[in-house]
Structure 1
Amino acid sequence: MDRRTEWQARVDAVWADASLNNAEVIDRIDELAADWPEDDALSLFQTAGARDSAGLEAQAAPRYQKALALGLPESERAQATIQLASTLRNLGRADEAIALLRAELAERPGGEYAGAATAFLALALADIGSAQEATQLAVLALVPHLPRYQRSVAAYARALTAP
């Protein structure tokens, strides 16, 4: 097992430990992040997530932004984008969240995290008063899971934002 894989296993163990409170998660993740240079994108992503999970969005946002700017592997990049958007939304910056999520969905419409990006986009749209578009996105995301009525439900959802 290489050093990064071993480190990630240790990080995953912290996240899986339900007995830890938020402060303990932050402390443990910070200790693990100290194994890497300050500009290590993956450790920044993890320290951002720890703070985000603890409700410290103002501390999380710049870490997510720096991690994304430094470059992350695809899976973590998608997660960091969605988590940053959620954080920005929680900070009252829904317009920025919407821009991030729209870009994510435009670049990777069928990506592994497209459903999550769509869900967070719908929430951000609701925050800015675009309830019909938010409802449309949420309903269209459900269409493939319906046992029947897919065509009708999709048409009704599209009609929500039609002129």
Structure 2
Amino acid sequence: MASGAGTEAGAGREVGAGTAPGGGAAPGGGAAATSGTATGEGATHVHGPGADAADAGAANPPGAAWEARNLALWAALDGYGEKGEAGAAEFRAAMDALVAELPAGDPVAAFERAAAWDSTGHSDRAVPLYREALRGRLPGERRRRAVIQLASSLRNLGRAQESVELLTAERAAGGDHLGDAVAAVLALALADAGRPREGVAVAVAALAPHLPRYQRSMAAYARALTEDAPRPDADA
């Protein structure tokens, strides 16, 4: 994720950029475990079709007390950031100590460490850890967040096509409350991959349902960007 644009990857933060901890925009924020595109939590259950099947073979999630301390650490991220790179290193060390309490090989540990690197501006260090976490069958919502954040980090590393492929497959698996986050990162990746028209179509289609009016017209405009369809009147 990390790339200086100011998105986040941890508990309740966003996904696409992962600036250093002082920017308040890294992948590891400290919101509740159910929030948007975050990564630092994950006690909640997932998303689209196949989520229950995936969870059936997933690792057991950490307990509530551990999750509460994890969220508290993510909530303190901006404070660490005020100390610059020294604070970033301190934050990562605190995360390493926290995840060391988990069982050996727990994929949540790899995920949280990935988000910590991502949140402090190191997409290159985050990518292999996200992959490790996904191989370990992350439980609950963390799995989809790991996919989103991995894809964002790949884009930030100049590997936009890999990001597009990953997110296209994720969208095909079904939707949930993180669907708009998937769409947002996919739109950016498509633009970077030389397919900006498709990226705009994905972004507008994701935005359309949230508009107070013109939902139908905007959805049709989005389709028209990638199809030979007539442009509708903006009347609905």
Bin the TM-score by the shorter chain.
Answer: over 0.9
Matched, 1:20 2:80: yes
Separation in structure 2 between the aligned mates of residue 60 and residue 10 of structure 1, nearest angstrom:
21
Alignment partner, residue 219 of structure 2:
154
Structure 1 residues 21-100: aligned runs within 5 Å: 21=81, 22-100=88-166
Q: Which amino acid aligns with 1:94?
A: A
User: Deviations 1:5-45 (Å, cap 9, x if unpaired)?
Assistant: 22211111110013113222211101111112441101110
Alignment partner, residue 6 of structure 1:
65
Runs of 4+ deviating beyond 3 Å? none
Shift of 1:161: 1.0
Structure 1 residues 99-138: aligned runs within 5 Å: 99-108=165-174, 110-138=175-203
- Structure 1 range deviating more: 7-16 or 29-38: 29-38
User: Is the helix fraction higher in 1 or 2?
Assistant: 1
Q: Which amino acid aligns with 2:153?
A: T
TM-aligned CA distance change 1:69 to 1:131, over 3 Å: same
SS in structure 2 opposite 1:9? Answer: helix
Unaligned segments of structure 1, at least 5 residues:
none
Separation in structure 1 between the aligned mates of residue 167 and residue 152 of structure 2, nearest angstrom:
9
SS in structure 1 opposite 2:121? Answer: coil
Q: Is the 8 A contact 2:180 2:206 kept in 1?
A: yes
Q: Which amino acid aligns with 2:80?
A: L
SS in structure 1 opposite 2:216? Answer: helix
Q: Which amino acid aligns with 1:91?
A: L
SS in structure 1 opposite 2:208? Answer: helix
- Structure 1 range deviating more: 152-161 or 117-126: 152-161
- Structure 1 range deviating more: 146-155 or 56-65: 146-155
- Structure 1 range deviating more: 94-103 or 30-39: 30-39
Separation in structure 1 between the aligned mates of residue 219 and residue 177 of structure 2, nearest angstrom:
22
Shift of 1:3: 6.5
Separation in structure 1 between the aligned mates of residue 180 and residue 186 of structure 2, nearest angstrom:
10
Separation in structure 1 between the aligned mates of residue 100 and residue 212 of structure 2, nearest angstrom:
50
Q: Which amino acid aligns with 1:107?
A: A
Separation in structure 2 between the aligned mates of residue 38 and residue 86 of structure 1, nearest angstrom:
27
Separation in structure 2 between the aligned mates of residue 93 and residue 3 of structure 1, nearest angstrom:
32
Larger RCO (CA within 8 A; separation ≥ 6): 2
Separation in structure 1 between the aligned mates of residue 163 and residue 62 of structure 2, nearest angstrom:
34
The normalised TM-score by structure 1 is 0.93
Percentage of identical aligned residues: 49
TM-aligned CA distance change 1:96 to 1:59, over 3 Å: same
Shift of 1:95: 1.0
